[in-house]
Amino acid sequence: MPAAKFDVLGLGNAIVDVIAPVDDDFVINAKLRKGAMQLVDEAAAQALYDAMGATTIVSGGSAANTIAGLASFGGKGAFIGKVRDDEAGRAFAHDIKATGVHFSTPASQDGPSTARCLVLVTPDGQRTMNTYLGACQNLTIADIDAADVAASQILYLEGYLWDPPAAKRAFVEAARIAHDAGRQVALTLSDVFCVDRYQQEFQDLIRDGVVDILFANESELHALYQTSDFASALAALRQENILAAVTRSEKGAVVVKGAVTYEVAAAPIGTLVDTTGAGDLFAAGFLTGYTRQQPLDRCARLGALAASEIIQHFGARPETGLAGLAEQSDYLHAL
C-alpha cells in the first residue's frame, strides 16, 4: 500500500451555518425539535431566517468541520462536497481551503443555491439545526475523486449523506474505492433523527463491513440499537467487529474495540456557549491521534479537547489552533 497523501478524506454536505441566539420560546413556538437537525425547504428556511435575530455566518457541515479540525491539529485533510458557485459557496470553499484542506469538488453552475443550516442557539448552549440542502442534492458519484480517496488513510463519511438521494450512491462508491485500496472507512451517525430515518441501512453498513470505525453520541447509539439503555446499546455495539467511539457530552466518551473499553472524562471548559460541532470536533481529535498511531485513550482525549474548544464559541470551526491547544493542555498531558 503506497504512503497516504492525506490522513483523512471527508465526504459530506457542504453547508454554511447561519447562527443566532434565541430563547427557548422561539424553538417551542416554531415547533422545532430542540437539539436536533431537521431538513427544511427553501421557503421554510426563508421564513425561519426572517424570524431570527442578527446572525453570525461561518462555514459548517459535519464532515467538513471534522476535516477542518484535523487540519487545525496539523493533519493532512481533504474534503469532497457540493456547493453552488454563489457567495456562500465561494465562502465555504475559501474557508476550508484556508485551513489547509484540499478541496476541489467543482461547484454547481446552476440549480439550487449553496446549502444553509440555520442554527438556533438557546441560552443552555444547545443548538437546533434547520438545514436547507440546496446544492448538496447535486453531489453524485462523478464528484468522487478516486485517486484522492485511495490515497487517504481514512475515508470519513457523515450519516447526513443519506438525505440527498444521489449522495448515498457516492458514499457507497467512495467506501468501495477506499477498501479496494486497503484503507479504512469511518462513519458518523450524525443525528438521532437521521438514525431513525435510516436505522436499518446504517446497521447493514456496519454488518456488511462497509464501516470500520463508528462515531456516535449516546442518543444516536440508542436509536441505532432501538434501546433506551446505554449498557444494552454498548453490548450490541461490542458484537460488531469495529472500532467505535461514543460521546456522552459532559460525561466524556467511551471507546469500544471488541471486549476492550476505554472511558475518558470530558475536557474542562469555561463557559458553554454553543454545542454545535462538538461531535464533529471530537471525531477530528480522535482521528488525528488515530492516524498518528496513538493509543485509543489518547485519541479520545484529543477528541474531547477539540470538542471543548468548539463549544465555547459560536460556530463549529476552531477559532484557536488545535495543535497549540494540545501542546498546552493539562487535560491531555495528565494522561
Which residues ranging from 138 to 167 are in contact with a second copy (CB under 8 A)? none
Task: Tell me how far, at minimum, the Cβ of 317 lies from a second copy, in Å.
Answer: 6
Cβ proximity to a second copy: between 96 and 194 the closer is 96
Q: 230, 173, 236: which is closest to 203 by C-alpha?
A: 236
Task: Tell me how far, at minimum, the Cβ of 49 lies from a second copy, in Å.
Answer: 7
86 binds a second copy (CB under 8 A): yes
> What phi and psi, each to the nearest 5 degrees, are found at residue 104?
-140, 15
3 binds a second copy (CB under 8 A): no
| CB distance 15 to 117 below 8 Å | yes
Percent helix, percent strand, percent coil in the chain, to nearest 5: 45, 20, 35
Task: Tell me how far, at minimum, the Cβ of 41 lies from a second copy, in Å.
Answer: 19
27, 39, 91, 236: which one binds a second copy (CB under 8 A) = 91
41, 42, 87, 201: which one binds a second copy (CB under 8 A) = 87
Which residues, in sequence order, are CB contacts of 330 under 8 Å at separation 6+? none
Distance CA 131, CA 172 (A): 23
Question: Considering CB under 8 A, how many residues would be counted as binding a second copy?
Answer: 27
E strand or H helix that includes residue 131? strand 127-132
Cell numbers for 291: 492516524
> What phi and psi, each to the nearest 5 degrees, are found at residue 306?
-65, -40
Q: 315, 264, 282, 292: which is closest to 125 by C-alpha?
A: 315
Task: Tell me how far, at minimum, the Cβ of 58 lies from a second copy, in Å.
Answer: 5
77, 159, 252, 315: which one binds a second copy (CB under 8 A) = 315
219, 313, 316, 326: which one binds a second copy (CB under 8 A) = 313
78 binds a second copy (CB under 8 A): no
Task: Tell me how far, at minimum, the Cβ of 57 lies from a second copy, in Å.
Answer: 4
Distance CA 100, CA 151 (A): 17
Segment interacting with a second copy, rule: CB under 8 A, options 141-149, 233-241, 300-308, 312-320: 312-320
Distance CA 101, CA 269 (A): 27
Segment interacting with a second copy, rule: CB under 8 A, options 31-39, 49-57, 171-179, 220-228: 49-57
DSSP 38: E
The contact mask relative to a second copy for 5-34 (x = CB under 8 A, - = no) is ---------------xx-------------
Distance CA 117, CA 131 (A): 4
Distance CA 7, CA 292 (A): 9
Q: What angle do CA 142, 146, 150 make, to 5 degrees?
A: 155
206 binds a second copy (CB under 8 A): no
Task: Tell me how far, at minimum, the Cβ of 216 lies from a second copy, in Å.
Answer: 27
- Positions touching a second copy (CB under 8 A) are 20-21, 49-50, 52-59, 68, 86-88, 91, 94-96, 98-99, 313-315, 317, 319
